[in-house]
Amino acid sequence: MMRMTTQTLALWASLSLAGSASAQLPSGLLGGMLPNVASTSAGNAAGLLSFCVKNKLLGGQDASSVIGSLTGQPGVTTSKDFAQGQAGVVQTGNGSGLSLANLKGQMKTKLCDMVLQHGKSLAGL
């Protein structure tokens, strides 16, 4: 039997409810422990998308186009949030973070898809 942490289980539930078109994770689960993807900065989104592509969680021209648009914005590639994103850590406006390394399989892919949707919005695509 597979064992899941409470945080992983809650994230799985929130991703299942969120739907693929949504760029938000409900922040109310577990007292707000889970990050709201829609509050990530352009730097963090660009870094996360790079992480997702590098780890084959996302692919194709779509992700590359969004990464290019976001990294072309002033200060994005030099930001701390960008470095955190490249390390696979989702940063939110309130300073909390979630490492994708703590997630398994489909949850990582779903989170990357949600970041891609948010990144498109940030890039105006």
- What are the tens digits of pLDDT across the range 21-58? 334 444 433 334 345 688 889 999 999 999 999 999 98
Q: pTM of the entire structure?
A: 0.72
More confident residue, 1 or 75: 75
Write the DSSP assignment of the chain as a string of letters.
Answer: -----HHHHHHHHHHHHH-TT-----S-GGGGTS--GGG--HHHHHHHHHHHHHTTSS-HHHHHHHHHHHHTSTTSTTSHHHHHHHTTEEE-TTS-EEEGGGS-HHHHHHHHHHHHHHHHHHHT-
Inter-axis angle of helices 42-54 and 105-123, to 10 degrees?
A: 140
More confident residue, 16 or 66: 66
Q: Which residue do the tokens 């490249």 mark?
A: 86
C-alpha 85/C-alpha 99 separation (Å) is 9
Q: Which residue do the tokens 């398994």 mark?
A: 104
| Bridge partners for 98 per DSSP | 90
Cα dihedral 87, 88, 89, 93, rounded to 10, equals 100
Q: How far apart are the first and last CA of the chain?
A: 43
Residue 35 confidence (pLDDT)? 58
Checking if the pLDDT of 1 tops 70, the result is no
